[in-house]
Each structure stands twice: as C-alpha cells, then as structure tokens.
Structure 1
Amino acid sequence: MKSEQGDPIPLWERSEPAVRPAPSPLSRDNIVRSAIALADSEGLSAVSLRKVASSLDAGAMRLYRYLSTKDELLDLMADAVYGEIVSEGPIVGEWRDTLRTIANRIRSACREHPWFIELLGGRPHMGPNALAMLEASFAALNDSPGFDTVDASMQAIRTVNAYVIGAVQAENSDLKNSMSKADWQKVWWPYLERLIATGNFPMLAKIIRDASHPSPDIIFDTGLETVLDGLGSQISR
C-alpha cells in the first residue's frame, strides 16, 4: 500500500479497513491472535494466511484487506510478543541488572512462544512494541557508569542479544530432540563405549564420567554471567 505521493506506507501506520458485520468481523488484532495460537500449537511452519483465515471462519482473500503478505503477518506476530515483553514493566537497576532483565524477558518470551526464536536475529523488527522495547533498553542503560556513549550501550545490548539468541536456539533444539535418559543410553551408549575403548577420546570419556550436566536454567545463567563479566572488564578498561 502506498501514500498519495507513491511512498510505501509502513504496516503499522495503515488504517484498519471498515469493519464488516458479516459473515464474521475481522481485525488485525484477531488475525494476529489466531496466527499466534496456531504457531504456539503447531509451529511457525504451520502458519499460513489460508489456515489463519480458516480458524476465523473467513476466506483467505479477506485477510488481504488487513495485510499484504505472510511476512507482514510474521512482523505483526513478532511485535505482539514484544508487546508482551514490554507489558512486564519498566527495566530498572544498575547495568548488569538491566541486561539480565532484557535477557531473561526475551528467553521467557521464547519459552512461551517457541516459534519466536525463529524470528530473532533476522531482519530488524520495526513494529511499535519492538521499538518500545529497544527504547526502554537504551533508556535503562543511559545513565549507567561506563555507558557514556550510545555506542557503548548498543555494543552491550547487541552482545547480550547475540548470547540469548544462541542460547535459546540451543535450548529449543534440545527440547525438540529430547528423549529420556534411558532411551538416550540405549541408542548411543554402545557406540560411545566402543569409541572410548579405543583410547582416542580421553576428553569425551572425562565428560561422560565427570560432567555435572546442569539444568538449562543454570547453563543459561552461567553463560549470561560470563558475558556480563566480559562487558564489565571492558567497561573497567
């Protein structure tokens, strides 16, 4: 959709089409809610304009009055999740607390909506809620010692976001491929035992024998603290 001057109009600045009383009222909000419910239950690959329309008892062509492409639907879905993150309240505290809050809120959103992971780290999210999240993050760091320039804040937020994206992607992969300890041992242990018996994998043998295999929460928190320690060292220099 374009303005009178021929310039593209961003999705969030387009007016809603007039509500039709029949056969079933639609709005961007209930389209997005339906798409999120579908993604939560069946995964992002299951989301299509046809399926979303069907869940709303509407024809797919009616959805094109509210958005133009599936990518726009994904943008709206992502921004709705950012809205949930922003609704958790202000981000406050010293810089380490601020970055912990950002990291944990994103991780929690990914646990609530596993498909959201697939939309992180790609093209920039420019919806109003995504920008509100970004604004709140920078505002929280703005007066912190060591963050005298916006470049320092950008570097810190980028670093933490990169860690969070990698960590939640690994967690999600583990969940998708999870099997019981007994099943894992049945499938893999004879093979690993043969490899270890060769003597060529002493570190692998040590990992199997001595590693504590902590919970996902401990792994995430430990990795995050390592990242924050690195940022702290940089700030102190």
Structure 2
Amino acid sequence: MAATPRSGDVWTRPRGGRKPKLTREAIVEAAIRLADAEGLEAVSIRRIASELGVRAMSLYTHIDAKEDLLDLMYDVVAEEVLVQGELPDGWREALTEVARREREAGLRHPWMLQLAGRSPRIGPNGLRHIEQSLAAAARLTDDPEGMLAIVKTIDHYMLGFITMEQQAAEGSPQRVQTTPLEQTYVRLLVERGELPHLKPFLETSFCSSDSFELGLKWLLDGIEHEYRGK
C-alpha cells in the first residue's frame, strides 16, 4: 500500500533519507530502461523494485505513487529534447532542430507518446522545452496566440509521423506483419487496375527520414507564407 500522499508536487517534495542507497534518480532510470525494453505496461513499483534489488515499499520513500513515477520519467526524457546552448539563429532552423530532437527522443522511447496522451504534469525540463519552442516561434511573430499555434501545429505533425514510424518499426506490437499485397482483396484491386496511383507505394515504406524532412519543410513553408507572404 502506498504511503499517504504528501503536499506539493513530485519535483518540490523533500527527498527521503540522508545519502540513501536508493535514490529517486536510480528509480526513474530503472523505470525508463524497463519501458524502453518492454513497453510502458511493464513498469510497476514491484517490477522496478525487483530490478533494483530492493523491497517495493522502499520506493515509496522517494515517490508517492506510480503516477509520480510516470511524470518523472516523462520529464527526464524531455531533457533529451532540449537544444543545448543557443538556438539556431533563424526561426526555421530553430523550429526544425526542436522537431528533429522531439522525433529522435520519441523513437528512442516509444512509450513517450502514451504518456503524452495522458497529459502528464509538466516538470522543469518539459517547461524548458516549451519555452525553447516558443522562443523559436517568437523569431517569426510576437503574437502569443500565433506562437502557440505554430508550436502546436509542428508538434501535431511530428507526433503523427513518429506514431506511423513506431507502428512500422521492427518488433512493434502494432506492426503489420504482412505487406498489403499479401492480402487477397488488395491484390485483386491492384490486378483490376483500381489503385493505379497507390500501386507503386504498396510495397514501399511510407515513413522515412527524407519524407519527415520534406513534410516539415512544406509545413514551415506554409507557416512562413502565412506570416511573411502577404
């Protein structure tokens, strides 16, 4: 049974113990390794305790509940997205760099999309990431609503793209194990000439680094036209 919840959020609560053998950082790192290897469903207080060779109750000295742990995991990975040092000078270059780092982190940690869907409590690194994104958009417009719209639009594109990449990745539980042309009805439609434009793509990948960059370029072109093309 979890300890009685304490006041404040997980980032401001006091940490238990003096120089403890078990630390919050070690718990979160173990949880991330487990999620990377086996998926978010494998993450539990009992399983992490087993991985660390401690009793499950000892984890509650550092976290109140699994929800706290998920928030901490999300924020640790959010640090990977941060652009170190100064952002690139141009707004396009800055937003492109942020989007690339988001995509790379999402592919390294596929479970991040699941956590994003549950609206995690935003931690320090998550806030810095949002700040960087808005700072990049601010180089194109000083309208706060416009800045937010730009960031959200790029995020939606990036999240949709890496969702498709994850589903197509080798080993993904959502991966389609057969090619479309191995499905009888698809083959029949192709043979009858009903899919002339789709046919060349049925045996090729719809997701690649090149197509991500091209789609992002088109998106930024449209944003630039909206603000500077009038």
TM tier, shorter chain?
0.7 to 0.9
Q: Runs of 5+ in structure 2 lacking a partner?
A: none
- Residue identity matched to 1:9: G
Contact 1:40 1:114 in 2 (8 A): yes
What aligned pairs does 1:32-181 form with structure 2 within 5 A after superposition? 32-86=28-82, 88-142=84-138, 144=139, 146-175=140-169, 176=172, 177=175, 179=177
- Residues 178-227 of structure 1 show CA distances to partners (whole Å, capped at 9, x for unaligned) of 55xxx637733x4322223445x2xx233213787565111211211121
Structure 2 CA distance for partners of 1:117 and 1:11, relative to 1, 3 Å: same
- Residue identity matched to 1:132: R
1:208 maps to 199
- Residue identity matched to 1:59: R
Distance 2:181 2:212 in 1: 28
Q: CA RMSD in A?
A: 2.3
Alpha-carbon offset, residue 29 of structure 1: 0.2
- Residue identity matched to 1:209: P
Which of 212, 224, 230 is the aligned partner of 2:216?
Answer: 224
TM-score (norm 2): 0.86
Alpha-carbon offset, residue 20 of structure 1: 6.8
Alpha-carbon offset, residue 106 of structure 1: 0.4
Distance 1:155 1:124 in 2: 20
Number of residue pairs matched by the alignment: 220
Alpha-carbon offset, residue 155 of structure 1: 0.9
Alpha-carbon offset, residue 120 of structure 1: 2.3
- Residues 13-46 of structure 1 show CA distances to partners (whole Å, capped at 9, x for unaligned) of 011101476xxx1111000000001011111111
2:179 paired with 1:184: yes
- Residue identity matched to 2:66: K
Alpha-carbon offset, residue 138 of structure 1: 2.0
Contact 1:36 1:77 in 2 (8 A): yes
Structure 2 CA distance for partners of 1:125 and 1:94, relative to 1, 3 Å: farther
Contact 1:91 1:137 in 2 (8 A): no
Structure 2 CA distance for partners of 1:116 and 1:88, relative to 1, 3 Å: farther
TM-score (norm 1): 0.83
Contact 1:120 1:165 in 2 (8 A): no
- Percent identity reads 33
- Residue identity matched to 1:47: V
- Residues 54-78 of structure 1 show CA distances to partners (whole Å, capped at 9, x for unaligned) of 1111111111121122111111001
Q: Runs of 5+ in structure 1 lacking a partner?
A: 3-7
Distance 2:125 2:97 in 1: 17
Contact 2:74 2:120 in 1 (8 A): no
Alpha-carbon offset, residue 140 of structure 1: 3.2
Greater C-alpha Rg: 1
Which of 183, 189, 195 is the aligned partner of 2:189?
Answer: 195
Normalized per residue, the structure richer in helix is 1
